[in-house]
Structure 1
Amino acid sequence: MPAVTADTLTLPRLAAPVPGPVPGSAARPRPVRSVTAAPSGYEGEGFPVRRAFAGVPHSVLDPFIHMDQMGEVEYAPGEPKGTPWHPHRGFETVTYIIDGVFEHQDSAGGGGTITDGDTQWMTAGSGLLHIEKPPEHLVVSGGLFHGVQLWVNLPRAHKFHLPRYQDIRARQAALLASPDGGALLRVIAGELGGHAGPGVTFTPITLVHATLSPGARLEVPWEPGFNALAYVLAGQGDVGAERRPVRKGHLAVFGAGGGPLTLGAGTGQPQAEPNLEVLLLGGRPIREPVVHYGPFVMNTRAEILQAMEDYQAGRLGVVPAERVPHADGPVPGKE
């Protein structure tokens, strides 16, 4: 699981949580509300996924809608799969690649190739068509593929914003170390301990990939008005002051409060997963009605019906003839 690696001894250190109101005390860690296991399924043309948010009520996920862990899978030659062209409206997709390569192209001119540690942030807004697929050379050769796709809701005021595409390279993520150097944190969006990630968001959120060495413990200061989720990408450990056990495919939902999020990596890890890998995410709840139907996330059923009608009438865009640009080349229409 390469994503982005670094020597934690040379990185800026994450400050310890702010002390509590009583001298010598620390802010109480957020309690763990629930731990759920993600069921497995298939997406697109048949690539395996874990449905990270399955069974979790929207009220505690808000402003997030959906998240898939894609892979981790070792493809044989000819096996890599993607998605066909399909529409989106009313939300943003955030695709973070940990291992492997993925290509994106959309009808608004956005697109590119992302690989280890890169992120594609696509604001569908008023609507577009897009496709995600492995490059031809990966289809021919096969290889490892592992990533995450997160759906972030848009507030009513931005549901019909013009589509926007952000191409975030791995080297742009803000890198931090825990106070003792036992954990590496990659800030993709939002702010953590005064260090901001590169992702530009309509809804205030924080998105962090944390790697904890065996036996390491981590306290992460968290915005009091944000919800807080921890999804385990690999390894095993515990969450919360109560040390609830978690392992790969588990989602921990933290309760409300202004305290830090606490995590710990087990001293023994699976042979193929030497560290505890966790995606930390949270945001300011939008608290608006949500009607979700397939690739459309709107506020009312009438808006869903209109989205379907607009798609069928070709008003969400047409499939472009251009090929996906190279990762290091220009991205047409990129903001």
Structure 2
Amino acid sequence: MPAITADTLTLPRLPNLPESVTTWRGVRRVVQARKFLEGEGFQVRRPFPGVDLSLADPFLLLDHMGAVEYGPGEAKGAPWHPHRGFETVTYMIDGAMQHTDSIGGGGLITDGSTQWMTAGAGILHNEVPPPELVAAGGLFHGVQLWVNLPRTLKMAQPRYQDIAARDARLLSSDDGGALVRVIAGELDGHQGPGSTYTPITYLHATVNAGARLAMPWPADFTAMVYVLSGHGTVGAQRRPLDEGQLAVFGGGEALTLRAADVQPVNSPTGWEILVLGGRPINEPIARYGPFVMNTRQEIIQAFEDYEAGRLGKIPAAHRTSADEKLS
């Protein structure tokens, strides 16, 4: 169950968009997320890359972690590793993750909070479950999103944003049937807490069984919906969209989504979805592992800088003998 909840009847409401005169975005394609192992061996579901990246621009990757109930000693993370040229956004829906980085940022990301790390010119970071989760086990459910940076900002100064669950901007659908959490960007004039270099909107919505969620969407933004759990339909044509699937939309001025009348037992609060989009950067992408730049030569330079220690050093308090080669 998502940690951030609210009485939708007390929240600001999105406008009532009439079906007949609104230019609804149609669904261009539906993508099934594939499963991968990351870090120390935890499983993620990844809908993109895999879809044509021009349709996802300015986003690079979406990893859905869980939902999983870990037993004692089972929780795993992603130990120290580098990044350059983009931003990582980790949103913990339930459970906890401990973040530390080479510029002194970090903290516990838990139960509806978000950490926004701008790698920019280069950073080392560590994302691992806290010791108490490793020892006792427990629920773990989160998402990591990679946001590209344009050429002019790829070597920006690294920064870290800690976005608490209470900071999310909460809205309701026009009829109160859906709760919308604005993590970053703007929706109908309501600004989320995440400060973005690249213009984007990033939302988490819970749509009650049988309810409709309609929202205006910038015409110059891409638009996608990813299902965390539950069943529903997207677009005016009501294209089915289930857990682990991503819908990519075409042009238009608004999105219409509807939860199925009956939801599965693992989605008792309703249809849980992410809605995201942004203004395309429209630049060449060269990527390899943890680096995303514009040219192959810039990727080679990133590896050389990493090996020379120019992307940062692991703080002494977190260093082990196995980390010496990274610092």
TM-score category (smaller protein)? over 0.9
Partner of 1:193: 188
Partner of 2:122: 127
Superposition pairs for residues 1-335 of structure 1, below 5 Å? Answer: 1-17=1-17, 25-257=20-252, 259-274=253-268, 275-322=270-317
Q: For residue 207 of structure 1, report the CA deviation from its aligned partner.
A: 0.3
1: CA distance, partners of 2:15 / 2:241: 25
Q: Structure 1, unaligned stretches of length 5 or more? A: 324-335
Give the TM-score normalised by structure 1. 0.93
2: CA distance, partners of 1:127 / 1:255: 34
AA matched with 2:47: A
Q: Structure 2, unaligned stretches of length 5 or more? A: 319-327
Q: Secondary structure at the match of 2:214?
A: strand
Q: In 2, are the aligned partners of 1:124 and 1:163 still within 8 Å (CA)?
A: yes
1: CA distance, partners of 2:49 / 2:195: 27
Equivalent pairs: percent with the same residue? 65
Partner of 1:328: none
Q: In 2, are the aligned partners of 1:47 and 1:71 still within 8 Å (CA)?
A: no
- CA deviations over 1:8-44 (Å, ceiling 9, x no partner): 0111111123x7xxxx952221000001110112110
Give the TM-score normalised by structure 2. 0.95
AA matched with 2:16: A
Q: Secondary structure at the match of 1:85?
A: strand
Q: For residue 278 of structure 1, report the CA deviation from its aligned partner.
A: 0.6
- CA deviations over 1:193-227 (Å, ceiling 9, x no partner): 11100000000000000100000011111011100
AA matched with 1:265: A
Distance 1:224 1:37, change over 3 A: same
AA matched with 1:278: I
Q: Secondary structure at the match of 1:187?
A: strand
1: CA distance, partners of 2:134 / 2:231: 32
- CA deviations over 1:140-181 (Å, ceiling 9, x no partner): 000010000000000011000010000000110110001110
AA matched with 1:260: A
Q: In 2, are the aligned partners of 1:50 and 1:69 still within 8 Å (CA)?
A: yes
2: CA distance, partners of 1:320 / 1:5: 36
2: CA distance, partners of 1:126 / 1:307: 9
- CA deviations over 1:245-295 (Å, ceiling 9, x no partner): 0100000000012x2111110011111212101100000000011001100
Q: In 2, are the aligned partners of 1:99 and 1:116 still within 8 Å (CA)?
A: yes
What count of residue pairs does the alignment treat as equivalent? 318
Q: Secondary structure at the match of 2:48?
A: coil
Q: For residue 55 of structure 1, report the CA deviation from its aligned partner.
A: 2.3
Q: For residue 130 of structure 1, report the CA deviation from its aligned partner.
A: 0.4
Q: Secondary structure at the match of 1:52?
A: strand
Following superposition, which runs of at least 4 residues in structure 1 exceed 6 angstroms of deviation?
none
- Aligned CA RMSD, in angstroms, stands at 1.3
- 229-238 or 47-56, larger mean C-alpha shift: 47-56
AA matched with 2:294: N
AA matched with 1:268: V
AA matched with 1:10: T
Partner of 2:325: none
